[in-house]
Amino acid sequence: MSVTNALAIDCEMVESYNKSLLARVSIVNQHGSTILDEYVKPSSTVTDYRFLVNKKWNIDNGQDFSYVKNKVANLLQGRILVGHSIHFDLEVLQLSHPESKRRDLAKYNRLQKNGQPVALKTLAKNYLGRDIQESAEHDSVEDAKACMDIYLKLAHEWEYNF
């Protein structure tokens, strides 16, 4: 489980009175290996478990937010961050990451349709021939791996144009 120059991230969130809270964060390396997969204990009352209702136990018994936030911050330091709509992940983690080090599939022109983001599920099907998000519950590891694989398919072109 080596930390590579590029890491892909995906977060799952729950809701507390119309505010998103981090429930799970997953990070994979360029080889598709999971280097972080943590459930996070809610910092306030959960009013909607969204897709994670079957993971309530994992969330309620998860790590403290500050511990996970620091772990993620240390991993991302100086690395390329790959994801889909990364700003939501960074926002719920209360972290920033330089734009020059972000590779956001939702913002990359080649992956958009009519200037609009395309769902990760659709991108995975179109670029990888892979079906993801098939169940009612999303899997942040599966989504992070799909993001990394799509990025790697386009990395040469992406980095050249960057």
Domain parsing of the chain, residue ranges: 6-161
* CA distance linking residue 142 with residue 82, whole number of Å: 14
pLDDT at 132 over 80: yes
- Structure confidence at residue 8 as a pLDDT band (50, 70, 90): very high
145 near 35, Cβ under 8 Å? no
103 near 80, Cβ under 8 Å? yes
92 near 69, Cβ under 8 Å? no
* CA distance linking residue 138 with residue 51, whole number of Å: 7
- pTM for this predicted structure: 0.93
Percent of the chain whose pLDDT exceeds 90: 75
pLDDT at 160 over 90: no
Higher pLDDT, 157 or 93: 93
Find where tokens 């889909």 sit. Answer: 84
The domain 6-161 having CATH identifier 3.90.1640.30: the answer here is no
Work out the mean pLDDT of the chain and round it to a whole number. 92
pLDDT at 162: 56
pLDDT at 136: 63
Find where tokens 């961050």 sit. Answer: 81
pLDDT tens-digit readout, 35-49: 999 999 998 999 998
CA 89 to mean position of chain CA atoms: 6
pLDDT at 161: 62
